[in-house]
Copies of this chain bind each other. A is one copy, B any other.
C-alpha cells in the first residue's frame, strides 16, 4: 500500500495503568504491526485518569485521518465505564469489533459489520483453512464473553453451524460438548475440558490462555489452555495447542482488520 499510494495503515493503542499481564499482549501487537508496515501510536494514561481524559484521547484518534484502527486495551480500571468507552470508539475504526453496532451487524444475517472480533475471526479462519466443514455441523462454544465466546457463536451460526453455548450456569456441560463436531473453548479454566467431554473425531479450538505454576520453568509458570491436551489428542481429529495455536492467528486478524480499514479510508482496492 505504501509503495502504491504512499500511505500506510495506522493503529492507535490506548493503555490505561500498568497491568503487568497486558504488557506482553501489547508488545506482540506492536511488533507485528511494525513487521508488516502498519504505523502505531501508543497513548499511555495513568491508572488514575478520569473518564473524560480517556474519552478525549479516543475522540482525538476517532478524528485523526492517519488512524484506521483504535484499540482500548481491556480490562480498564474499575472506576472507568468500559461499556461507555467502547461505544465512543468510532465503529469504522473499531478493529477489535467490540462496538455494539458491529456486534449487532455480526449477529444479523444479511448485514456486514465493519469488523469481526479478532479471536473469533481467527478461529473460523483456522477451521476454513484446514478444510473443516462448519455448515450443518454441531458446534459448542464454551464461554460467552463478549470478546470471544459470544462473537464466536454468532460467527459459527453465520457459517450455518448448529450452535450451542455452554457457560457457568450450564449443568453437565460434557453432555453437550460430547455431541459436538466442533468445540471452541474460552473460559480461562486450565484442563476444564477433559477427554471424555469430546466426541471421537471432533475438532477442538482452544482459546484459553491460563498461567499455571510450573517450578520446572524458568519463569515459575507456564501457559496452558482450557483443554487437557494430552487427553484430547487421543480422541479428536484436530486440536489447536496453547501456546502457539489461535494466539498468532488472532494477531494476524488484527493486522488484517487494520489493513481493511485503511483500504476503506483511502478507497484503495
List A residues at the B interface (Cβ < 8 Å).
83, 99-111, 135-136, 138, 144, 146, 150, 154, 157, 160-167, 169-171, 173, 175-176, 179
Contacts and interface: CB of A to CB of B under 8 A. Distances in A.
A120 B1 CA distance: 47
A104 B109 contact: no
B162 A162 contact: no
Given A99-B104, A108-B100, A111-B83, A162 B176 contact: yes
Contacts of A160: 167, 169
Contact of A169 (B105, B162, B167, B176): B162
A146 B106 CA distance: 12
A136 B100 contact: no
Contacts of A102: 104
A44 B179 CA distance: 50
A169 B164 CA distance: 14
A161 B173 CA distance: 12
16 contacts: A83-B108, A99-B104, A100-B101, A100-B105, A108-B150, A109-B146, A136-B170, A138-B176, A160-B167, A160-B169, A162-B166, A162-B167, A162-B169, A162-B173, A164-B165, A164-B176
Contact of A107 (B136, B150, B167): B150
Given A100-B105, A108-B150, 19 more contacts: A99-B104, A100-B107, A100-B108, A100-B111, A102-B104, A103-B104, A104-B105, A104-B106, A107-B107, A109-B144, A110-B146, A135-B169, A136-B169, A160-B167, A160-B169, A162-B169, A162-B170, A163-B165, A164-B176
